[in-house]
Structure 1
């Protein structure tokens, strides 16, 4: 049996991160049905329940060391763990877990990470020292390759793949249909999903999206549904934006699983997203999408599926957003087909992450056997 420890932003009710973990567990288990996965989590009980894996608390250093000692591989990722824009402390926490693994001679893989931005001379120096001791790095976009090159991280094998969620299996739409029906959001009208988030106290984009939502509802006889990707924070933000509308928008209130959110998105005729993984969910489920950027990772993903953001949170314009909706609405099937074709390459690259992880595990086990003999 192979033992793997996964370190990341898990157990915090973030749908994107939970989707990454679900995809990693799904694909790794497909490749190795006997794999034993332990996840470091902010809420071990929730992680065990959601993902059917072993889990230990993110501050339970004793058990973390014990798990790393037995592990054949530490997977750090996916997501944007190694950055210090949203939190300065988290960068050093994730680097500390990597250092512990290296001290215990456990191989480390950065798994489809989005690297950076990392600000500050000291932080970049620490990242360079630790990064050059890692066995294998896969990144989810070319921008991350550039960040690694700028920090002079060159020793590990480095490969550009794609976000783990790209490999997740599409789900049955009936699950989401039931949830939408329960929330009086399913019927004869077309559905437009909107995913919003708080970001640095900005308010301009909220007013733009609210005004656009009213126009979309009227012009296309559509029902507007706000989807929470980070619970409960996104619910509060969605309620704020919905309160600015006059179209009786529906705000979904619950903490949904990855499968439920994928299924909900699958029932949409179009999705407007600020959250990266709302856009990725749309791609997985073949739904036309429009992205509003707050971070380079949004731009990088949209570029990979032949799209571009309609603007960012500071400068998005009402006319441009509505015109983009009109353009896509008239050829939803065409845009979905184009996105699907490009997305198939991303799915293959996402599978590559798990294949490389399994190769690392095999090499570690072979080396251990040689030392025993």
Structure 2
């Protein structure tokens, strides 16, 4: 993401609000990109875990409880990035439009940066989002569907790549080392990444069964579960729980916890031969790495991303996943 020439800058200091400090690899990559855009020296981040955010991103951070007091000391507010205006957001996330509107009324400059918007949010949420966006200096979205939804609300916006695109990869060699740390050797045989989540209850059991059957059907491949989100208190958003349940059923499946440094996570995807992607940022990371993607969409934002690239979502069945992997193998051998 780059700001067009002549785009007015936000007055410093700036307070950033998003889904930060929840141990989500995609969110932390977006925060790295956002800090690169705004600058760390004059930015404070609202985080569930301020100590972790400060240590990981070298930036001042405050708790959610301290956000209102922090706003008094800051001249601008950035809300972003990611799917902050979608149905999977919790109660605190649904309060974001109100917080932004109040900040604007109090004379703060407000910007929406790198956001995604779902079509199926409530009527109240749509109304609040429209009011917030109309008061915002920047409204920057990350996909065409979000732009269309906002246009239907009478809001102009611009499309820019996801904020994580500003993060450079540590490279394939770094990814190779991390895979070897869990006893996988990409030079010996292909490794398929598995980025699964239990957020969507209609998909999780089907996905679990499909992955077990896929692993059994392809003894020529290695498989590595990569839990992109490890939410500290919402079990369905803690992908590590699902990963350990699946790995307990098949010992040859390995688990690699994404490093805190998003550049290393990008390197891991470069070391993979393909990835089964449910999580949004696993789609992005795999695409950046140039590896084949088996996209099992768990949320509307994933469908938006696939549609922007002319890709169809894959059903969470072993037949569908194996068909995709078979076609990948044939293309790679050609």
Report the TM range for the smaller structure's normalisation: 0.7 to 0.9
> What secondary structure sits across from 2:298 in the alignment?
coil
Task: Report the equivalent of 1:64.
Answer: 70
Q: Deviations over 1:257-307 (max 9, x none)?
A: 312211211110111110010111112222222110111211221233342
* Contact residue 168 and residue 263 of structure 2 kept, 8 A: no
Task: Report the equivalent of 1:321.
Answer: 321
Aligned residue runs from structure 1 range 1-373, under 5 A:
2-29=12-39, 36-68=42-74, 71=75, 73-83=76-86, 85-87=87-89, 89-150=91-152, 152-154=153-155, 157-186=156-185, 188-201=188-201, 202-216=204-218, 218=219, 221-231=220-230, 233-245=238-250, 248-253=252-257, 256-311=260-315, 316-332=316-332
Q: How many pairs align?
A: 315
Cα 1:115–1:333 shift into 2, 3 Å? farther
> What secondary structure sits across from 2:145 in the alignment?
helix
Q: 1:122: Cα distance to partner?
A: 2.8
> What secondary structure sits across from 2:84 in the alignment?
coil
* Contact residue 77 and residue 113 of structure 1 kept, 8 A: yes
> What secondary structure sits across from 1:197 in the alignment?
coil
Instruction: Give the number of the structure whose residues are more often helix, by fraction.
Output: 1
Task: Tell me, in whole angstroms, the C-alpha distance in 1 between the residues paired with 2:277 and 2:14.
Answer: 33
* Contact residue 192 and residue 274 of structure 2 kept, 8 A: yes
Q: Deviations over 1:288-327 (max 9, x none)?
A: 221101112112212333422212xxxx332221111111
Structure number with larger C-alpha Rg: 1
Task: Tell me, in whole angstroms, the C-alpha distance in 2 between the residues paired with 1:178 and 1:191.
Answer: 13
Task: Report the equivalent of 2:4.
Answer: none
Cα 1:294–1:22 shift into 2, 3 Å? same
TM-score, with normalisation over the residues of structure 1? 0.77
Task: Report the equivalent of 2:7.
Answer: none
> What secondary structure sits across from 1:331 in the alignment?
helix
Q: Deviations over 1:73-95 (max 9, x none)?
A: 32211101123x22452343212
Q: 1:183: Cα distance to partner?
A: 1.3
* Contact residue 213 and residue 224 of structure 1 kept, 8 A: yes
* Contact residue 206 and residue 317 of structure 2 kept, 8 A: no
Q: 1:153: Cα distance to partner?
A: 3.5
Q: 1:107: Cα distance to partner?
A: 1.7
> What secondary structure sits across from 1:64 in the alignment?
helix
Task: Tell me, in whole angstroms, the C-alpha distance in 1 between the residues paired with 2:70 and 2:271.
Answer: 40
Unaligned 5+ runs, structure 1: 335-373
Cα 1:206–1:16 shift into 2, 3 Å? same
Q: 1:9: Cα distance to partner?
A: 0.3
249-258 or 279-288, larger mean C-alpha shift: 249-258
Task: Tell me, in whole angstroms, the C-alpha distance in 1 between the residues paired with 2:125 and 2:269.
Answer: 38
Task: Tell me, in whole angstroms, the C-alpha distance in 1 between the residues paired with 2:61 and 2:114.
Answer: 21
Q: 1:255: Cα distance to partner?
A: 5.6
* Contact residue 195 and residue 276 of structure 2 kept, 8 A: yes
Task: Tell me, in whole angstroms, the C-alpha distance in 2 between the residues paired with 1:104 and 1:118.
Answer: 30
Q: 1:331: Cα distance to partner?
A: 2.3
TM-score, with normalisation over the residues of structure 2? 0.86
Cα 1:15–1:210 shift into 2, 3 Å? same
